[in-house]
């Protein structure tokens, strides 16, 4: 289907299950999306002592909202998605991604440009414990401005105390130039930037994510205690040991980002 913003295709594949693409770029598949969404959400949510309000930039497939809802202290999740057609297509054809997240009263869907949505929220006095970039293409014209200095500064200003921003940098193997550029921009704006290296089959393997704010990561024992306190038991990728290990980067990535 073609929406007002992009071409949306849902396809069944033998290796990755059912996936959807936007203008030809693969976004998520039901067989391996848990790697990205569990990491994107729980690395930030468990590093925070008590998150109650979260903003997902993009996230129209509902998978990040799904993972956030596993934290019992979450009171509100705002999903700022450009294209309602993405939400409708995934709910219809790949319901395993949202798993009913958009039917939960704690989830609020705001359709439109995420920059406008966040500007309006900021002016209204809304502040967030977690801001998650569920966006994978910093050089896509539709979302390039969401990785610019002004918007990144707005994100930081929209954080509540102890708040954390998670930004996907991309593939150091296949998107080296834009990974280097975005990392440099973030490092120039924010102190204490923390990187994590994930393995994302759909995106070609190694995938970098950056955490901003919130101070240093809690120790593994603290992360384990928070998992137990919040009664989160059904994770397939994330665990505290993986959290800690993901902070160790191969030499070629250090060289890329130097």
Q: Which residues are catalytic?
A: 134
Residue 2 CA to residue 10 CA, distance in Å, equals 12
Residue 159 CA to residue 95 CA, distance in Å, equals 31
H or E element at residue 116? helix 114-123
Residue 43 CA to residue 48 CA, distance in Å, equals 9
Q: Rounded to 5 degrees, what are φ and ψ at 67? A: -70, -40
Token duo for residue 77: 């999740």
Q: Rounded to 5 degrees, what are φ and ψ at 205? A: 120, -120
Residue 69 CA to residue 66 CA, distance in Å, equals 5
Token duo for residue 152: 């990144």
């Amino acid at each position: 289907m073609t929406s007002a913003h992009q071409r949306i295709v849902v396809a069944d594949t033998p290796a990755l299950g059912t996936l959807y693409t936007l203008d030809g770029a693969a976004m998520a598949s039901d067989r391996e999306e848990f790697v990205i969404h569990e990491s994107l959400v729980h690395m930030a949510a468990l590093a925070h002592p008590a998150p109650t309000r979260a903003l997902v930039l993009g996230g129209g497939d509902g998978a990040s909202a799904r993972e956030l809802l596993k934290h019992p202290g979450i009171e509100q999740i705002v999903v700022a998605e450009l294209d309602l057609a993405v939400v409708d297509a995934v709910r219809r054809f790949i319901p395993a991604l949202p798993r009913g997240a958009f039917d939960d009263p704690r989830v609020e869907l705001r359709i439109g440009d995420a920059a406008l949505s966040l500007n309006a929220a900021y002016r209204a006095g809304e502040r967030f414990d977690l801001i998650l970039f569920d966006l994978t293409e910093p050089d896509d014209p539709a979302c390039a401005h969401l990785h610019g200095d002004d918007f990144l500064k707005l994100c930081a200003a929209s954080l509540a105390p102890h708040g954390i921003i998670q930004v996907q940098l991309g593939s150091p193997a296949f998107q080296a130039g834009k990974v280097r550029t975005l990392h440099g921009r973030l490092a120039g704006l924010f102190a204490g930037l923390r990187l994590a290296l994930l393995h994302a089959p759909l995106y070609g393997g190694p995938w970098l994510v950056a955490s901003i704010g919130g101070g240093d990561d809690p120790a593994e024992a603290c992360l384990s205690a928070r998992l137990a306190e919040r009664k989160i038991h059904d994770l397939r990728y994330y665990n505290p040991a993986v959290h800690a290990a993901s902070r160790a980067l191969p030499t070629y990535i250090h060289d890329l980002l130097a």
